[in-house]
Amino acid sequence: MRYILDIKMEVVQEILDQLYRKVLLGTTLEDDVHGYVFYLNPDLSEQDGCPTFPVAQSNASGVLDGMAGQHGPSSHEVAILSGAQECPKTQLQMDGAWEVKLLQLTVIDMMLSRALSDETETHAKEGYREITEVLLQSVELDSKLMCMLQNSDKLLSHMAAKCLASLLYFQLREKKMLNNSWVTFCQKHLSESSESGEAVRCLWILTAVIKEILKDTHSQRAESLKQLLTPFDITFEVFYNSLFSQHFGDFQSPSNIASSLMCFLELLELLVASRIHLKLHFRSQRMLFLKPHALDILACPIPAFIKRKLVILIKKCLLCKVGEDLCREPAPSLMSPDHLLDSDMLTLADALLHAIHVGLWKALAVSGKPSCFGGDEVQPGCRLRTGPDHVTLRAASLITVKSLEIKSQNCTSAAEMKVALQTFMSELLDFLKPHLQPSLQPHNPCEWLSRVFIEQDDDMLEAAKASLSIYLQLTREWDASASLTQEKEAWIRSTHGHGCNPHCVFLFFLKNVAFDSTVLLDFLISSETCFLEYFVKYLKLLQKDWDHFLSICKFFAAVESQCGVLVHDPVPSPARGRSTSHTVPHAPASPIGENTCPWLPWASDASSESQSQVMMPKETHPGPANGPPSRTPQSLVDYDSSEASEEETTSEHLANSKQTSLCQERSEEIQGLPRTWREQKEHSLEPQSRPLLSAESSSPFSAKGGVAPDGTVWEVGLFLRTVKCLEELHGAIYRLQEKNLFPYNPAALLKLLKGVEAKCVNM
């Protein structure tokens, strides 16, 4: 016998709420499946808020008994009527029906998630699967969800999309099939218009399904994704061409086109990630590489956050870091080379460099809006802080250097590589100049890297590694071509002038970390950056290019002393205390110009001089009598109090005098040892038992270098701080290795640090 059951919306909401709590905990559902299906049917609240629907009384009573803990519906909850009931349309009832529908979708989405979770008990999973099957067969849940996608209510449409994505993933996992009606629906809307609301929701659902596949750990991920992408491979390519070939100043719906761009860029990222992590090969996974006209939107009048999204996507592609935040299992480090991917990377890099050459960075606006917590309005009494969009600035800089690195690896001659370096690094420096305050030092443009990436250490190290790779590639070409020494010297000078001299970059990096060896140790232990790879490459170069390194140290010291440049300290950070800056006192006007810094000799000149001269002070003229008094430069980071000790001040000159002879003393000490013991000592990875730098060398002046109170320019400061930092790092790594506390075998790294130590000893 069938009745017409009038269930109040409050009761329905209570039942659905209790059902949600049970599913959230993964509890087994004991009652009849059809009773739950009744309350999860979207038609329950479809008739303009009228809550009267026919249902078997036994089913409803069973659900109410199970959910509300009663022996049946009470008189004020259920009214058994003998005929149809007139139901007035009130706003309250319509709001109640809307809330019921949202709650239904939430419960269905949670049930699908629990049905696939490894944490859910088997018996509970079976119940959730059975309810889902009944909803699909008797209620046609998938069709109803697709209709709800086009609802004008944005929250309801979003919840329908979320629920449909979970349902599609459930079908892929459990049935190894894709819903044909959904495929047709999606292909239709993606092919018709790139800016329709339905197209945006289709992209969102596809993105959500691919994310779930990538996040999962089951062994059938590749098969599931292949089944999903196969019917959409051509559709994605058509949509890509349609979206990025239009004039973005002429579209009628700015919000829809912005949503389409954001959703599709996220989909592109997932397609590239699946290519790298799951080794699939579809044309749609190569669109961004083979058809890089998506770069054109960077010069179009579209919102800045979309441009930022694209630049970051290109950065992830060039670094092969796409999908790292989604895939729980990292991409295998030892894998067969993907020559097709390498070729596509080169295509993308060439396209980006071509766009830069024709003025891409000149057209890209990176001026950021004021960043305000909780909104974009500045509260009364607060200071307005404006500046560039540093995220876009960093990403644009990194993709330029990375593209240049990829290009340099495929150039046919050193001359071609040199032209490319000069062209694109000049473009990059011109792009950065208006956005860096204070401006870059004209005598040392290599500072750009540490200035741009000061707040993002992983990107900083990626840029430094790419810059170092370019330098190594070019120097190998010069060596192989047996070029004249003068040409090679000109090339080395060119790397400095275009901001990619590896020694300058490394010294600026050490300045940023306050020459703290513990920071380097953290970088070496952590797997979040590429510091280990960069550091090993640089240490190898340092041993080979020692004279050049010494010349760079001389250059830094002389520029700071003779030009009175402002020495910038690291940007303050919570981990490092308060930072300061100081100005080295001006030297008198030089014959080559009042504000001109002399260009110091480079590698060849340094090698012709006695190396001991690098370690010795040289005299300069005293500063103007009416100028500020010379003083000891402060430390880069003031960890302790700023109070100075009188003893420290009076003993500074003595401490620095001892430094100049330390390396010579150490060399004599080793020379005086028996031959066999000396050879054993040289081949050991153990650090020197006696530090290369004395304990007194830790004073601010001796460590920093600069202009002494008597007018002497000390060129040893930067060099000694660098050597001391590397020596301390060597000792720390060795001690950790002795206790088996280092996370990997550092033998090769210790050998390189030992080699640098030997270079200093032999001076």
pLDDT value at position 308? 93
Q: CB–CB of 334/403 below 8 Å? A: no
In degrees, rounded to 5, the angle at the alpha carbon of residue 25 between the alpha carbons of residues 19 and 26 is 85
The per-residue pLDDT of the chain, averaged, comes to 74
Three-class secondary structure of residue 748 per DSSP: helix
Query: How far apart (Å, rounded) are the C-alpha atoms in residues 238 and 194?
Result: 10
d(CA 692, CA 268) in angstroms, rounded, equals 53
pLDDT above 70: residue 548: yes
Give backbone dihedrals phi and psi of 23, rounded to 5 degrees, phi first.
-65, -35
Instruction: Indicate whether 86 belongs to any domain.
Output: no
With respect to residue 719, please indicate whether it lies within any of the assigned structural domains: no
Q: Would you give the distance in Å from CA 114 to the centre of its chain? A: 32
Going edge to edge, which strands form the sheet with 78-81? 52-55, 3-7, 78-81
The closest of 542, 554, 560 to 606, measured between CA atoms, is: 554
Specify whether 200 is located in the same domain as 150. Answer: no
Indicate the residue among 125, 145, 176 that finishes a domain.
176
Q: Within this chain, do residues 247 and 320 fall inside the same structural domain, yes or no? A: yes
Q: Are residues 172 and 207 in the same domain?
A: no
Dihedral Cα 355, 357, 362, 364, nearest 10 deg: 20
Of the pLDDT bands very low, low, confident and very high (cuts 50, 70, 90), residue 678 is: very low
User: Can you tell me the mean pLDDT for 126-148?
Assistant: 90
The parent domain of residue 200 ranges over 180-328
More reliable by pLDDT, 374 or 31: 31
User: Which of 17-31, 268-282, 610-624 has the largest mean confidence?
Assistant: 268-282
Listed residues 120, 145, 176: the one ending a domain: 176
**Contact between residue 167 and residue 193 where contact means Cβ atoms under 8 Å apart:** no
Q: Average pLDDT, stretch 395-424?
A: 90
Does residue 481 belong to any structural domain of this protein? no
Phi/psi class of residue 627: alpha, beta or left (left: φ > 0; alpha: ψ in -120 to 50)? beta
Q: Packing angle between helix 221-229 and helix 154-175, nearest 10 degrees? A: 120
**Do 153 and 128 fall within a single domain?**
yes
Q: Does residue 168 share a domain with residue 298?
A: no
Count up the domains in the chain and report the number.
2
Angle at 421 between CA 419 and CA 424, to 5 degrees: 100
Alpha-helix runs per DSSP H in 121-220: 122-138, 141-148, 154-175, 180-192, 197-215
At 681, list the tokens.
Answer: 């000592």
Q: Residue 349 pLDDT > 60, yes or no? A: yes
pLDDT of residue 387: 73
What's the pLDDT at 462? 96
**Residue 252 domain-assigned (yes or no):** yes
Has residue 650 been placed in a domain?
Answer: no
pLDDT in tens, 243-260: 998 777 655 567 778 889
Q: Which two tokens stand for residue 436?
A: 């860096």
Spatial CA neighbour of 57 closest among 5, 14, 11: 5
Q: Quote the pLDDT of residue 542.
A: 94
- Which segment of 63-67, 78-82, 358-362 scores lowest on mean pLDDT? 78-82
Q: What is the pLDDT at residue 352?
A: 96
Q: Are residues 172 and 24 in the same domain?
A: yes
Q: Give 104's pLDDT tier (boundaries 50, 70, 90).
A: very high
Residues 108 and 121 in one domain: yes
Q: What is the pLDDT of residue 378?
A: 57
* Mean pLDDT, rounded, for 576-594: 33
pLDDT of residue 692: 54
| pLDDT band, residue 368 (cuts 50/70/90) | low
For residue 149, give the 3-state DSSP assignment.
coil
The torsion of the CA quartet 330, 334, 339, 340, rounded to 10 degrees, works out to -20
Give the side-chain half-sphere CA count within 13 A for 291.
16
User: Which residues, 6+ apart, have CB-to-CB distance to 376 below 8 Å?
Assistant: 369, 370
Q: Is 395 helix (H, G, I), strand (E, B) or coil?
A: helix
Please state, in angstroms and rounded to a whole number, the distance separating the CA atoms of residues 546 and 490. Answer: 18
What pLDDT band is residue 495 in, cutting at 50, 70 and 90? Answer: confident
Same domain, 157 and 186: no
Mean pLDDT of 597-626: 38
Q: Does the structure show a pLDDT above 50 at 549?
A: yes
Q: How remote is the C-alpha of 98 from its chain's centroid?
A: 41
Which residue bears the tokens 């830069």? 356
pLDDT of residue 595: 35
Q: Residue 727 domain-assigned?
A: no
Q: Same structural domain for residues 244 and 135?
A: no
346 pLDDT above the threshold of 90: yes
Question: Do residues 106 and 123 both lie within one domain?
Answer: yes
Q: How confident is the model at residue 731 (pLDDT cuts 50, 70, 90)?
A: very high
List the one residue out of 620, 594, 596, 495 whose CA is nearest residue 551.
495
Residue 51's pLDDT band (boundaries 50, 70, 90)?
very low
User: What's the pLDDT tens digit per position in 179-216?
Assistant: 899 999 999 999 988 878 889 999 999 999 999 999 88
Residue 468 inside a domain? The answer is no
pLDDT (0 to 100) of residue 388: 82
**Domain end marker among 311, 328, 345:** 328
| pLDDT average, residue stretch 730-748 | 94
Q: Are 197 and 309 within one domain?
A: yes
> Can you give the pLDDT at residue 216?
85
What is the reported pLDDT for 498?
87
- 271 and 287, same domain (yes or no): yes
pLDDT of residue 705: 40
Q: What is the mean pLDDT of residues 128-153?
A: 90
DSSP string, 347-390: HHHHHHHHHHHTTHHHH---EEPPPBTTBSPPPTTPPP--EE-H
User: Average pLDDT for residues 229-240, to the nearest whole number?
Assistant: 94
Q: What is the 3-state secondary structure (H, E, C) of 650-703?
A: HCHHHHHHHHCCHHHHHHHHHHCCCHHHHHHHHHCCCCCCCCCCCHHHHCHHHH
Q: What is the reported pTM?
A: 0.76
Q: What pLDDT was estimated at residue 593? A: 33
Average pLDDT for 571-581: 36
- Written as one string, the DSSP assignment of 605-644 is HHHHS-GGGGGS-EE-PPPPTTSPPP-PPPPSEE-S-SPP
Domain presence at residue 622: no
Tell me the three state secondary structure of residue 119. coil
Q: How far apart are CA 654 and CA 638, in angstroms?
A: 23
Mean pLDDT value across residues 406-413? 87
**Structure tokens belonging to residue 397:** 């800089």
